[in-house]
Amino acid sequence: MSTARPLKKLVSCIILDLDGTLLNTDGIVSEVLKVYLGKYGKQWDGREVQKIAGKTPLEAASAVVEDYGLSCTTNELLSEITPLFSNQWCNIKALPGSYRLLKHLSGHRAPMALASNSPRENIETKLSFHQGWKESFSVIIGGDECSKTVNISSANLSTEGYASLLSEHPSGVYFGWAGLSTRGDFKMVMSIGWNPYFNNTEKTIEPWLLHDFDEDFYGEELRLIIVGYIRPEANFSSLESLIEKIHEDGRIAEEALELPLYSKYKGDSYLKIST
């Protein structure tokens, strides 16, 4: 007589996109761009749908400006269409099967995360019109919380519980040392501020570890020692100028941290994370 064996657990977590996976945003995009392009005597023909799919708002706007030969800049387009999109979030419909899928996965206690190129604020707004969706996800990550756009190994840290500490430190770029639980100590440069280029709505802490990692270090404990200040926070006219400045900050930090005044903090006991 054979006894049935329990199925082996093959899935540890499910990561879902939002736009085009759970929500039908294509119609909203078409409606907004039809209105906007009409101001320039252009007609939206849908040719950009594939190009802008999966892109950040900045990348999508840049593609529209280039392909339609608009006289405005990418930032000007973004500033004008963002309110138009915001007014339409309440009209986005769930794709067929979305509610059923989330209910099924939640019912089986499958851990779920949501990752989208949309800014976190937009994600929160879209989810608010679909009861129970936000609570289904243990982790939600927006495009403005990642740094792949500028190709650096940064960590976007939660500011929960640090409001008073953040208020004591002026917005700007700092440098120091970072300790990762399983990898050791590394030079780092760190921004504290509002990231005005990305229109963040809250003050954030974002350290960039000056090392080429073979893989991401999500989930690892990170400790930081700040030893110096480089410059105040600034806005930029383009993504390219932002990236150039970030790398300049990195070079300054690299050189400064070689000085005995700052290098002595490498290996500090605070950076050593007990396992």
pLDDT tens digits for 201-223? 677 888 999 998 877 776 678 89
pLDDT per residue over 133-163, tens digit each? 999 998 888 876 655 455 566 666 666 666 6
Residue 7 has pLDDT above 50, yes or no: no
Active-site residue list: 17, 19, 206
Average pLDDT over residues 3-21: 73
> For 141-144, which contacts have Cβ atoms below 8 Å and span 24 or more sequence positions?
141/113, 141/114, 141/115, 141/116, 142/116, 142/117, 142/118, 143/56, 143/57, 143/116, 143/117, 143/118, 143/119, 144/119, 144/120, 144/195, 144/198, 144/199, 144/200
Residue of higher predicted confidence among 188 and 12? 188
In single-letter form, the type of residue at position 222 comes to: L
CA distance 113 to 100: 17
Q: What is the pLDDT of residue 148?
A: 47
Q: What does the pLDDT look like over 229-260, one tens digit per residue?
A: 999 988 888 778 888 899 999 999 999 999 99
Q: Poorest-confidence range of 29-43, 62-76, 154-168?
A: 154-168
Pairing of strands 172-180, 139-141: unpaired
Enumerate domains of the chain plus CATH numbers. 13-146 (no CATH), 149-271 (2.40.30.30)
Mean pLDDT for the chain?
A: 82
The pTM of the full predicted model, rounded to 2 decimals, is 0.51
d(CA 130, CA 136): 11
Range in 95-99, 140-144, 186-190 with the lowest mean pLDDT: 140-144
